[in-house]
Structure 1
Amino acid sequence: MRRETNREGIVRRSIHVATSVAVLTFGAYLDPVYADEGGVSYWLPGRFSSLAATPQVPGWSMAAVYYHTSVSAFGSAAASREIHVGRIPAHVNVDLNLRLNAQADLVLLNPTYTFATPVLGGQLAIGVTGLFGRSSADLAGTLTAAVGPLAVTRAGAFGDSITSVGDLYPQATLKWNAGVHNFMTYVTGDIPVGAYSPTRLANLGIGHAAIDAGGGYTYFNPQAGHEFSAVAGFTYNFKNPDTQYQNGIDFHVDWGASQFLSKQLFVGLVGYAYQQITDDFGQHPALGGFRSRVLGVGPQIGFLFPVGDMQGYLNLKGYGEFAAENRPAGWNTWLTFSISPMAPAGIVTSTRRMTK
């Protein structure tokens, strides 16, 4: 193993903290009106970003995240909420001209433990995320329902809000390091214990279990300070027992690119792509397969600093969404503070290579 320069060693020690944030702030289902059933999906794009696959310092870490989102939708994405909240029967033909607006302000807490003993030649970490906050939504427009020759039109608006706790989101990751190349696999899911009602317009839970798994890669060159990460995965959704609705399978990619300007500061870009690849089951015929899609991109900035004998980290990132289909779109921001073990001075990141 070659001797690192002083700058390279400092940057390598610093990225341990940024790495822990990339994992600790993986997030959870946060938005009250995203895709699938009634416009709601388990996976929240942006859960992973820069340095997602790089190793961490073993021990306990904690991240606290303030998350804000503001979205709107027309057409089928808004109509789906009216159909589900209004419990419109499948045999009723509907014509909807609606607009949906929603926002959420949430706080997430995510303790994670990273094991020092290798597992399959890699580094194992487990954690769980819980959240508390407020979600609100309003729906306005007209609805025309017809049964045979009879037709009824309803116009107006109504809103809903809730302040409570959300579902729980466990996660496990396994990572391998090979010089500037880092690899990971992960599994996560939804334990539906949060505030949820099938007749509410706004919820902090999704009402059904889900499991999500995938893998990722990070290129990090500590000498140049260059970094790029991408994590992809699939979500399988279980049937909602209250509505007998089952979301289709979702595919998603989160990515981040950054440049270290100093041993403490980096800037960069983040983005995501989300695409539902199979139809929903149990939806109203007016919605069709209701496959959803959205893209997002935005800036990020991160700052590292000591907190006693621990390492602190602040990160601010934001996404603007576009190319949405069957899904509300808007913007969202994440403000993260994390604290984790400090890498000892002079300790170089492990260069264990993957074992086949």
Structure 2
Amino acid sequence: MLAALPGVAHADENGISFWVPGFFGSLAATPQQPGWSLANIYYHTSVSAGADVARARNFSLDRVPGNVTLNANLNLSVNATGNLGFVIPTYVFETPVLGGQASVSMIAAYGVVGTSLAGTLSGVLTGPFGNSVPFSRSDSISDTTWGFGDLIPQFALRWNAGVHNYMTYITGDIPVGAYESTRLSNIGIGHGAIDGGGGYTYFNPQTGHEFSGVLGFTYNFKNTATQYQSGVDMHFDWGASQFLSKQVMVGAVGYVYKQLGCDSGSGDRVGCFRSQVVGVGPQIGFLFPVGDMQGYLNLKAYGEFAAENRPSGWNTWVTFSISPPAPGAPPTTKPVVRKY
């Protein structure tokens, strides 16, 4: 799994979430071969949002006095891009745990996030004697942050029963990444979080049909720098594919992300601020040998819609992983050995 991508692109506080929709995809619940594996991911996102998210960001930056009541019609927008790389080492245990296959992972990230905010805030400033004074502020600011993201440990269990595969996982955020509450762009999220859930994969090697879905929930701890606590989030990632050969698969991917609980805390100046987004797009994957290991390359992209209280746009993922060859997985071609 993967969580806590750039702190500019997603929901809850300022439209930022711990969970990054789209990490889980095809073959998510299928067991792996015991031993070490390594995944490397390049992630690019480009998103924008209107007045509600931009207003929330202005509040968190302390650019609006606390005694200002803003008008409903705000001419504000925020735009952001992120380019990040992730390194994910995983160890799969050979000894069964609760009849399933246990694995532990650690996710580390490094990259750059750029954000710009522009527009006009207008409202009414309440004076010390209850008098009202018109308030207006025009903003055009931008910020770019390079650095490391938060650390994300994860534990998972997987079970196999023929063409049916099941998984459960638990993960969390260790907030050690680049984060400053007064910055417009952040890579870390500034607070801890716990996330857990379960998933299912149907995979028939004979027909090449595959479908996977993973449902999870996130509990967010309070951000002590802003005294803001995001509500509980729900996320569902899915992937469907057809193996055209033993080495090539094509299909579709998608996700649904919805905040279930309201935001809270003394730093919450925007109210409940529940967020949601839906994404869908294509994918293609390739299996190939890397020495005596199995290589896997996957490219997928998502276009987002139905967004509320969060930026939306599009994102792309390029994943390259090396792992021990898994029994029952789609076979790859053997390397050609020539003797002269």
Please, what TM-score do these two structures have when normalized by structure 2?
Answer: 0.92
Alignment of 1:115-264 (within 5 A): 115-148=93-126, 149-264=132-247
Q: Corresponding residue for 1:111?
A: 89
Q: 1:196, 1:203 within 8 Å by CA — same for their partners in 2?
A: yes
Q: 2:298, 2:320 within 8 Å by CA — same for their partners in 1?
A: yes
Q: 2:142, 2:184 within 8 Å by CA — same for their partners in 1?
A: yes
Q: Secondary structure at the match of 1:80?
A: helix
64, 81, 86: which one aligns with 2:62: 86
In structure 2, distance between residues paired with 1:83 and 1:251 = 25
Q: Secondary structure at the match of 1:83?
A: helix
1:123 positional shift = 0.2
Q: Corresponding residue for 1:352?
A: none
Cα 1:285–1:63 shift into 2, 3 Å: closer
* 2:110 partner letter: F
1:145 positional shift = 4.2
Q: Secondary structure at the match of 1:134?
A: strand
Q: Corresponding residue for 2:305?
A: 322
Q: Corresponding residue for 2:332?
A: none
Please, what TM-score do these two structures have when normalized by structure 1?
Answer: 0.88
In structure 2, distance between residues paired with 1:97 and 1:284 = 23
In structure 1, distance between residues paired with 2:30 and 2:143 = 41
Q: Corresponding residue for 2:317?
A: 334
Deviations 1:87-136 (A, max 9, x none): 53443212332100001000000000001110000000000100000000
In structure 2, distance between residues paired with 1:340 and 1:324 = 36
Q: 1:79, 1:97 within 8 Å by CA — same for their partners in 2?
A: no
Cα 1:249–1:87 shift into 2, 3 Å: farther
Q: Secondary structure at the match of 2:110?
A: strand
In structure 1, distance between residues paired with 2:259 and 2:212 = 22
Deviations 1:117-172 (A, max 9, x none): 10000000000100000000000000124222112211131100011101001111
Deviations 1:56-90 (A, max 9, x none): 01100001110000000002122111111135344
Q: Corresponding residue for 2:289?
A: 306
Deviations 1:309-328 (A, max 9, x none): 11111100000000000010
In structure 2, distance between residues paired with 1:146 and 1:285 = 19
Cα 1:245–1:143 shift into 2, 3 Å: same
Deviations 1:272-331 (A, max 9, x none): 000000100037776221000000000000001111111111100000000000010000
In structure 2, distance between residues paired with 1:196 and 1:240 = 11
In structure 1, distance between residues paired with 2:266 and 2:2 = 27
Q: 2:15, 2:310 within 8 Å by CA — same for their partners in 1?
A: yes
Corresponding position: 1:270 with 2:229: no
Question: Which structure 1 segments of 5+ residues have no match?
Answer: 1-25, 350-356
Cα 1:195–1:285 shift into 2, 3 Å: closer
Q: 1:94, 1:286 within 8 Å by CA — same for their partners in 2?
A: no
Q: 1:268, 1:300 within 8 Å by CA — same for their partners in 2?
A: yes
1:30 positional shift = 1.1
Q: Corresponding residue for 1:64?
A: 40
In structure 1, distance between residues paired with 2:111 and 2:134 = 40
Q: 1:93, 1:286 within 8 Å by CA — same for their partners in 2?
A: no
Q: How many residues are treated as equivalent by the alignment?
A: 321
* 1:54 partner letter: T
Q: 1:90, 1:285 within 8 Å by CA — same for their partners in 2?
A: no
In structure 2, distance between residues paired with 1:285 and 1:113 = 40
Q: Corresponding residue for 2:333?
A: none
Q: 1:90, 1:284 within 8 Å by CA — same for their partners in 2?
A: no
Q: 2:215, 2:237 within 8 Å by CA — same for their partners in 1?
A: yes
In structure 1, distance between residues paired with 2:63 and 2:78 = 17
Q: Secondary structure at the match of 2:160?
A: strand
1:238 positional shift = 0.2
Q: Corresponding residue for 1:22?
A: none
Q: Corresponding residue for 1:30?
A: 5
Q: Corresponding residue for 1:97?
A: 75
In structure 2, distance between residues paired with 1:86 and 1:223 = 59
* 1:318 partner letter: A
Report the more deviating stretch, 29-38 or 312-321.
Answer: 29-38
Corresponding position: 1:55 with 2:38: no
Q: Corresponding residue for 1:75?
A: 51
For the aligned residue pairs, the C-alpha RMSD in angstroms reads: 1.4
**Percent of aligned pairs sharing the same letter:** 61
Q: 1:182, 1:217 within 8 Å by CA — same for their partners in 2?
A: yes
Q: 2:227, 2:268 within 8 Å by CA — same for their partners in 1?
A: no
1:342 positional shift = 2.4
Higher share in helix: 1
